[in-house]
Amino acid sequence: MSAYLLLVPVAAVLFLNLPHFRLATRIALAVAGVVCVAQGLAALLVSEARWASAVPPALDPSRLLAVSFPVDALARVMLLAIALVGLCAVLMARYVREDRECAFRFANLLLLAVAGMNGIVLARDLFTLYVFLEITAVASLVLIVIERGRPAFEGAFKYLVLSAVATSLLLAGLALLLIVSGSTSFEAAAAGLRAAQGSKLGLVAVALVLTGLAIKAGVVPFHGWLPDAYASAPAPTSVLLAGVVTKTTGVYTLVRVVDSVIGYPAHVRHVLLAIGLLSIVGGGLAALGQRDLKRLLAYSSVSQVGYILLGLGAGPGLGVAGAVLHLFNHAVFKSLLFVNATAVERETGERDLQRLGGLQARMPVTGATSILATLSTAGLPPFAGFWSKLLIVVALWRGGHAATAAAAVVLSVLTLAYLLRLQRRVFFGPLAAPLAKASEADRWALAPALLLAAITVGIGLAAPWLFHTFLLPVESIL
């Protein structure tokens, strides 16, 4: 049944591009939204056991693909995140739509990106994983330049160059893993690395794979492409990139490969902890110095991914659980911040923090939901971000990394500093004279903002109960 997660988005693209189907340009965004809603409901309602057995063998498309796509708790979390952020991107495309043709192209590319990300989540073979990474990267590259313009092409060029470097490193690492293990399946590669423990070939293979995925994730010092790509992309693309694309192609893939293939040897954990701390500090300090609203949020993403790496570096069990939870939380609150940044830019025509101010009175819903996202990002209770950061800190402390745990807590103040600066510059103080005619965003922007705000508050309040369900799969990971 899980193969339908790949076939349905592709089938939707084929349907929209039928010859002489003139209605396609009008319904493209609606079709993309329906696909995302259906995937979200499936991720919520269908258990892991039913994913494997709900479809009769004769009707299972996996037989045609000759590949199985198992769905576990981690995969369901990511499938839900992809569907949720994809739906928000569709709504934002409707909000900022310039013409139907552009919306049609965006819907097609979004569906292809969703299919690619679903393939990444479901893959249990390194080469299959690589193929879906490239599908997602190509769709994302075109989404960045979909409205053209020099800044978009500049951001896309940086994305292309560093993506090519990451691809080369991944391919080289996969080739060495194939030599070591004789297969690219997760199980065989893991067994081969265990058998070749301490060999230079295995260490080089691991280093190449980790570096390639670190570039995809945009962590320090490989983050050069990320602020330009986020800031120069059209608003719906920024929501998609920041919310889930880089989290799936880089962060989720890193979690899955480390957990299923590489394991947690001491040297790997030390590298993850070091890069995590470097990303938190580097991304946070860079965010403090930004005047552009979207660039500030882009550097904030770099910083928050550092916390996910800290959880992964803390080791299996509680650390991985915290990393997965923060991965989902980050998809929610960062998408919310980019949705609201789009609303501010759309209603005022400004992204420069020095030219904004006093919008709380004009855009009360946007301002209120931004505050909720800020508090969750900073890890303050009772919001969702508090619980994921708490799990990460506890895992670090229990794993003997007391200094790193203390640093993670202290550095949350840095997160709060640059996000409160954003709130003060945009929503508080006297209303800037050029913004006197600004008004609240319409329903197409308020709907995703309210949905994402409700999720981040709901997870925070219901976290003790959710720890025993799939959404925060602590028990299944432990």
The three-state (H, E, C) secondary structure of the chain, written as one string: CCCHHHHHHHHHHHHHCCCCCCCHHHHHHHHHHHHHHHHHHHHHHCCHHHHHHCCCHHHCCHHHHCCCCCCCHHHHHHHHHHHHHHHHHHHHHHHHCCCHHHHHHHHHHHHHHHHHHHHHHHCCEHHHHHHHHHHHHHHHHHHHCCCCCHHHHHHHHHHHHHHHHHHHHHHHHHHHHHHHHCCCEHHHHHHHHHHCCCCHHHHHHHHHHHHHHHHHHCCCCCCCHHHHHHHHCCHHHHHHHHHHHHHHHHHHHHHHHHHHHHCCCHHHHHHHHHHHHHHHHHHHHHHHCCCEHHHHHHHHHHHHHHHHHHHHHCCCCHHHHHHHHHHHHHHHHHHHHHHHHHHHHHHHCCCEHHHCCCCCCCCHHHHHHHHHHHHHHHCCCCCHHHHHHHHHHHHHHHCCCHHHHHHHHHHHHHHHHHHHHHHHHHHCCCCCHHHCCCCCCCHHHHHHHHHHHHHHHHHHHHHHHHCCCCCCCHHHHC
The predicted structure's pLDDT at residue 435: 77
**Amino acid at site 90:** V
What total number of domains does the chain contain?
Answer: 1
Give pLDDT tens digits for 15-71.
Answer: 888 887 778 788 888 999 999 999 999 888 877 667 665 445 554 555 544 455 777
Q: How confident is the model at residue 478, as a pLDDT?
A: 42
Whether 194 shows a pLDDT value over 70: the answer reads yes
Does residue 381 lie within any of the structural domains? Answer: yes
On whether residue 219 sits in a domain, the answer given is no
Assigned domain for 423 exists: yes
pLDDT at residue 476 is higher than 70: no
Using the predicted structure, report yes or no on whether residue 336 has a pLDDT greater than 90. Answer: yes
At residue 39, the pLDDT reads 92
Going 212 to 215 to 219 to 220, the CA torsion angle's sign is positive
298 is in which domain, residue-wise?
Answer: 264-478
Residue 331 lies in a domain: yes
Percent of the chain having pLDDT more than 90? Answer: 28
Closest CA relative to residue 409, chosen from 391, 389, 395, 381: 389
Check residue 51 and give its pLDDT: 67
Distances in whole angstroms, Cα of residue 99 to Cα of each of 102, 233, 457: 6, 17, 35
pLDDT at 396: 92
Is residue 416 in some structural domain?
Answer: yes
The whole-number pLDDT of residue 429 equals 78
pLDDT at 192 over 80: yes
The answer to whether position 28 is within a domain reads no
Look up residue 227 and give its amino acid: P
Q: Over range 212-226, report the average pLDDT.
A: 87
| Residue 19 located in a structural domain | no
User: Considering the chain, what is the average pLDDT of its residues?
Assistant: 85
Residue 51 maps to a domain: no
